[in-house]
Copies of this chain bind each other. A is one copy, B any other.
Amino acid sequence: MDVSNVKALTFDVFGTVVDWRSSIIREGEALGRRKDIKVDWAKFVDAWRAGYEPAMARVRDGELPWTKLDDLHRANLDQLLVEFGIGGFSEDEIDHLNRGWHRLDPWPDTVEGLNRLRRKYILATLSNGNVALLVNMAKRAGLPWDAILGPEVARHYKPQPEAYLSTADYLGLQPGQCMMVAAHNHDLVAASRLGFRTAFVARLTEYGPNQTKDLKAEHEFDIVAESFVDLADKLGC
């Protein structure tokens, strides 16, 4: 493993940097308490997330024009509120819940790890989240990104090659000077095919207590780490 040419680390965010499931359950529960309604928020959030890939696939396939993630989230949310029989939310309350994705909490090791990694590397997002979502999340959680790039700026969702290649290009780097960091095997495989170096960081409870996928690195990645702090150790930061 020679990673001495790497200048920038590019990060998947949902699941890798932040714990979206617990955070959105918390948001739902808070809203439910205010409105005095009972909802199985874990089930609701899992259903919301299940709509994520199919929505992006419609954009990737050209069935929809470019649509930012906030708007895909909102269309899925509107549908789920009907399916779960949840009524009585104002437009402001629905918008607030949708923007819960701007208020996701980092994993416990995230901020410490990023602050160590940024001493040596450029840290950039390479997330399907839109720029505003990622800027607001970073501001709230203290994520020290050097640049918010990726799919919205490229107008292509991962795993389309343009999402990765445009990020390297904006940073003025070759793909081999970038290392993709993700908790998802498929994301790293896509990046690796384009020449990116790869680091897998396992997030064993991203999908809840009964997670069955991405429990370990399933390919030969350059680095396999247990946390961002472990990644900083392994990169000598």
Chain A residues packing against B (C-beta within 8 Å): 70, 122, 124, 130-133, 135-136, 138-139, 146-149, 152-153, 170-173
Q: In the complex the two chains form, what is the Cα distance from A94 to B149 in whole Å? A: 29
Chain B residues closer than 8 Å to A138, beta-carbon distance: 146
Chain B residues closer than 8 Å to A149, beta-carbon distance: 131
Q: Are B152 and A131 closer than 8 Å at their CB atoms? A: no
Q: Are B132 and A170 closer than 8 Å at their CB atoms? A: yes
Q: In the complex the two chains form, what is the Cα distance from A136 to B130 in whole Å? A: 23
Q: Are A170 and B131 closer than 8 Å at their CB atoms? A: yes
Q: Are A147 and B131 closer than 8 Å at their CB atoms? A: yes
A-B contact pairs, 19 of them (CB 8 A): A122-B139, A124-B135, A130-B172, A131-B147, A131-B170, A131-B171, A131-B172, A132-B171, A133-B172, A135-B146, A135-B147, A135-B171, A136-B172, A138-B146, A139-B146, A146-B148, A147-B147, A152-B170, A153-B153
Copies per assembly: 2
Chain B residues closer than 8 Å to A130, beta-carbon distance: 170, 172
Chain B residues closer than 8 Å to A170, beta-carbon distance: 130-132, 152-153
Chain B residues closer than 8 Å to A135, beta-carbon distance: 122, 124, 146-147, 171
Chain B residues closer than 8 Å to A131, beta-carbon distance: 147, 149, 170-172
Q: In the complex the two chains form, what is the Cα distance from A148 to B124 in whole Å? A: 11
- Least Cβ–Cβ distance between A97 and chain B, in angstroms: 16
A132 and B172 in contact (CB under 8 A), knowing A146-B138, A146-B139?
yes
- Least Cβ–Cβ distance between A4 and chain B, in angstroms: 19
Q: In the complex the two chains form, what is the Cα distance from A190 to B149 in whole Å? A: 26
With both beta carbons as reference points, the residue of chain B lying nearest to A124 in the complex is identified as B135
Chain B residues closer than 8 Å to A171, beta-carbon distance: 131-132, 135
Q: Beyond the given A130-B170, A136-B172, A153-B170, please list 15 additional residue pairs across the A-B interface where CB-CB is below 8 A.
A: A122-B135, A122-B139, A130-B172, A131-B149, A131-B171, A132-B170, A132-B172, A132-B173, A133-B172, A135-B171, A138-B146, A139-B146, A148-B148, A152-B170, A153-B153
